[in-house]
Amino acid sequence: MADIRFDDKVAIVTGAGGGLGRCHALELARRGAKVVVNDLGASMDGSGGSSEAANDVVKEIEAMGGEAIANGSSVTDDAGVKKMIDDTMNKWGRIDILIANAGILRDKSFSKMTMEDIQLVVDVHLMGSFKPIKAAWDIMKGQEYGRIVVTTSSTGLYGNFGQANYGAAKLGLVGLVNTLKIEGAKNNIKINAVCPVAATRMTEGLMSPEVLEQLKPEYVTPGVMNLVKEDAPTGMILSAGAGVFSMAEIVETKGAFVGQGEALTAEAVAAKWDQITDKSTQTHFNMGGEHGQNIFARVAEAAKG
């Protein structure tokens, strides 16, 4: 199997001053990419900020003979995101890869969570991915080439106590991927999501040292490289952790036609509940239109008797 290389490619990695983002940036550089190391340098809850972490990663890349520049913009700031894109284009004239990785936590039970806790987490995780992708999108369209990865979470896919803000933002990213995989197809722009389990600042207090040792962030990065390579998939959610990789999908049961008009009552739905929720008929839809087709297929079956 041929080596995965990124020679002559330009990559932006947000939140790359440490943890997962640093590992992604270093591996891209090892494989030939020129890398923009973006990191605000904020604390885990989003306060403060310094570009020192980004500069340190740039030094690591340069020490291995690679090319990189640091950027200290906040991914929530329109002017900062524009500067990140402008700096990249002024330096190298193109953007091939964008890995949206920046994140913070404001974990609290929903009763104790403030609107500031909600807004800030949504701004960083959801809007902080939207904004760089939006800023790079037309550049990638003009190049007829783009590879994008957003960072979702098992909290978004499945839930987790105390993370309503984080989970909502992370599942929102899956919705972004589901549409951009369609819009980007004609211009060779592929977009995927990684769902990592890794020992980072955001998880170090949640697990034992023995477990954390198996969850090194560098154990996620090889999967991400496959999401941004030349023949990458698109629209995929890749779960990754401890050297294990799997694919996650949103699925829907075949369902049942219950009735229309006066025949359609709450009791009629209840009578067919077992058929409606029959998991043996689950399937994955590739776009919203297929969801509608499934509904009308059930209507057509009922009409035939």
Provide the total of helices (H) and of strands (E) in the chain, helices listed first.
12, 8
166 noted as active-site residue? yes
Please give the C-alpha separations between residue 144 and each of 68, 81, 188, in angstroms, as whole numbers. Answer: 24, 22, 5
What's the sign of the alpha-carbon dihedral 127, 133, 136, 141?
negative
Total Cβ atoms within 10 A of residue 105 = 19
Tokens of 151: 């960072």
Contact partners, residue 210, CB within 8 Å, separation at least 6: none
Task: Check 145, 158, 166, 219 and give the catalytic one.
Answer: 166
User: Which helix (H) or strand (E) covers residue 194, if one does?
Assistant: strand 189-196
What's the sign of the alpha-carbon dihedral 110, 116, 120, 126?
positive
**Which among 66, 37, 19 is positioned nearest to 220, based on CA atoms?**
19
Strand 10-13: give its sheet, edge to edge: 68-71, 34-38, 10-13, 97-100, 146-151, 189-196, 237-241, 244-248
- Phi then psi for 100, rounded to 5 degrees? -90, 105
Catalytic amino acids? 166
